[in-house]
Amino acid sequence: MARPDAEEGATVAPGHPLAKGYLPVPRDAAAGKVSAEQQNGPRAGSLLLNGVPRDNAADLSGALGGPQILLAPEEETQARLLPTDAGEETPGAEGTPLPRTALSTRRFVVLLIFSLYSLVNAFQWIQYSIISNVFQGFYSVSLLHIDWLSMVYMLAYVPLIFPATWLLDTKGLRLTALLGSGLNCLGAWVKCGSVQQHLFWVTMLGQCLCSVAQVFILGLPSHIASVWFGPKEVSTACATAVLGNQLGTAVGFLLPPVLVPNTQNDTVLLAHNISIMFYGTSGVATLLFILTAIAFKEKPPYPPSQAQAAIQDSPPEEYSYKKSIRNLFKNIPFVLLLISYGIMTGAFYSVSTLLNQMILTHYEGEEVNAGRIGLTLVVAGMVGSILCGLWLDYTKTYKQTTLIVYILSFIGMVIFTFTLDLGYIIIVFVTGGILGFFMTGYLPLGFEFAVEITYPESEGTSSGLLNAAAQVFGILFTLAQGKLTTDHGPKAGNIFLCFWMFLGIILTALIKSDLRRHNINIGITNVEIKAVPVDSPVDQKPKTVILSNQPESSI
């Protein structure tokens, strides 16, 4: 009895890793000429082409109405069924087991733990800059010193991204997660020893440790989503993982102005308030490190999708990290996305770092409201991220969605720029929310689009390179916008960002959309192919599905 299509699976001999479950045939083959032998036929599970057993491939001369083709053994494919229940195995062509694709309930625990320690890391990134004037007075340093407490996150990422992604690809997800959570915890505890006015270097050391931890965090959302979640939820899972980092930024905008009010006339009270914030952060980071060590697993027992199964079935010796990097940089659509993603995310980093300075330039004494505006910006972005993730899972329109969100982010930045100095802080709340909804909502779009156009390359590597580009642009934009803001006012700095974001729109429009991972999951490959059900009786009309390349707009 034929099983539903959703429960069918296949294996492929070497030479056709991306054509799982399908038998390539010439384009002029007549429909209905490809079928599968009955179990009581000449050979169980063998394929028939025009009634000729597949084993006699040499006798197919002209059987398909095309030129004679002699298939080598390594070029042959054989369709197979997946077992009904998890844990069962189905022997393959050479007797090798084929695991059933299944979703593990542990995936939600892994996603939650990652999101929480990513939250704490993002909180530590922004906790200084949102009250930059307070820390400037406490440590008696310049504003540039305080800005570097945020920019060190960006600076550390660039040289460390390659060893970090190499570690993820060779040593696995669990070790990478433990390093990220552990270094985040260690950096938080180092900061607890810096609550004295002459110990700015200690707080910088702690922040440097947290910035190294970030290298093992930012590239994981798309990897966790792909390894643990199914095709219908992968984009939402990635958006949720990114959401944790965004929520940390939101908390970083909200809590520091409340926990550490501007009491520079009372240095003892100020030091006490700073220590409360530092020790509280350390306690939470320690708890999350323990939970990571207990509950975080490498991967589920069974792959969640056909695309992930294809990757896991590949022989390990075939993987080369250097070759993977070369492949990514030879991929023109990815290079265009790399630059456009770096521009957008770098602009967000710059706005977040300098938001306090921009607000206080036009609204003196509004440190608390500056934090609330930052909170509004990020919370709106969190909503945007989730909605974008859900939309991608539903439509799979990656390029269209990415381009539209990019354009709307640019419009939001223009509105924010020219309404900042109107004197009504409520307008800044509204425009900041609009800007955040699209600008922060773009982040998971870039991750997921990169995974689609670079499959089967490692998700961690592509995401890591995107983040590296974001850090480079973030440093350059923060320095340039900070200089323009100091010398010519916030409007000049924001116009600078608007120009670059317009360039990013052009680059995004030039990206060729090739949804490789999605095509594998739904059975579309680079050639016209026909699905061959194994258990279709010979005396019945075979259920043949003709699939061909489809542009993204038709999906």
Measured over all CA atoms, what is the biggest interatomic distance in the chain, rounded to whole angstroms? Answer: 94
Helices 398-419 and 367-395, interaxial angle, to 10°?
160
Closest CA relative to residue 459, chosen from 239, 243, 220, 235: 220
Cα–Cα distance between 206 and 197 in angstroms, integer? 15
Alpha carbon dihedral 231, 234, 236, 242, in 10-degree steps, equals -170
Cβ atoms within 10 Å of 279's Cβ, excluding its own: 15
Architecture of domain 103-305: Up-down Bundle (1.20)
Tokens of 360: 């206080």
- Answer whether 103-305 and 321-524 agree in fold: yes
- Is-contact 425 503, C-beta < 8 A? no
For residue 60, what are the contacts with CB-CB under 8 A and spacing of at least 6? 49, 50, 52, 68, 69
The confidence score (pLDDT) of residue 461 equals 77
- Exposure b/e, 402-413, CB count within 10 A at least 16 = b: bbebbbbbbebb
The confidence score (pLDDT) of residue 56 equals 44
- Any idea where the domains of the chain sit in the sequence? 103-305, 321-524
pLDDT tens across 100-139, in order? 677 777 888 888 999 999 999 999 988 888 788 888 888 8
The confidence score (pLDDT) of residue 7 equals 35
- Exposure b/e, 501-512, CB count within 10 A at least 16 = b: beebbebbeebe
| Assigned CATH for 321-524 | 1.20.1250.20
How many alpha carbons fall within 13 Å on the CB side of residue 60? 25
pLDDT tens across 481-504, in order? 988 988 888 889 899 999 999 999
Cα–Cα distance between 225 and 264 in angstroms, integer? 45
**What residue ranges of the chain have pLDDT lower than 70?**
1-100, 311-320, 514-555
Q: For the residues of 175-231, what is the DSSP string, one character each?
A: HHHHHHHHHHHHHHHHHGGG-STT-HHHHHHHHHHHHHHHHTTTTHHHHHHHHHS-T
